[in-house]
Amino acid sequence: MKRYRRSKPPMQAPSALAGCRFTPELIDAARPLRHSVGDRWLIDETYVKVAGIWRYVFRAVDQHGQVIDVYVSKHRDIPSATRFFTTSLAAHRAPVEVITDRAPALANVIEELIPAAI
């Protein structure tokens, strides 16, 4: 069995800075493919380990499966849920319906900020 020698060295992976200049163009190219945010939001919170520390992640997804907003917090409490919802509502219109697992912090904030959505 013959072994062939490569004429050129294998291509090196691009550096992190090389990818940065293309990122805005890729974001702008993908934006038209996204749906407008739906009127039914599914809200959930979970915890993940980030850099060895457990953190809570609040996430909102619409009925199309499109991620609306994500918020990472140290605590799973009413101020964190309020901050998550206020930033989501500032960026998008208020939903008609909010579906959640009825976590106490989320239920209180939804009743306060979007009473018609429950």
- Residues 111-116 have a mean pLDDT of 87
- pLDDT at site 37: 86
- In terms of pLDDT, which residue wins out, 23 or 101? 101
Mean pLDDT of the chain: 80
Helix/strand/coil for 48: strand
Asked whether the predicted pLDDT for residue 50 surpasses 60, the reply is yes
| Domain assignments of the chain as residue spans, ordered by start | 35-117
CATH topology of domain 35-117: Nucleotidyltransferase; domain 5 (3.30.420)
Please compute, for residue 10, the number of CA atoms within 13 A of its CA located in the half-sphere on the CB side: 2
CA separation for the pair 35, 38 (Å, rounded): 8
The first and second tokens of residue 109, run together, are 């904030």
Q: Residue 19 — very low, low, confident or very high, per pLDDT cuts 50/70/90?
A: very low
Nearest alpha-carbon partner for 45 in 5, 74, 6: 74
DSSP 64-91: TS-EEEEEEES--SHHHHHHHHHHHHHH
Provide, rounded to the nearest whole percent, the portion of the chain with pLDDT above 90. Answer: 37
The first and second tokens of residue 39, run together, are 């009127």
- Residues 79-92 have a mean pLDDT of 92
CA separation for the pair 81, 110 (Å, rounded): 9
Q: Which of the given ranges, 20-29, 81-90, 109-118, has the highest pLDDT on average?
A: 81-90
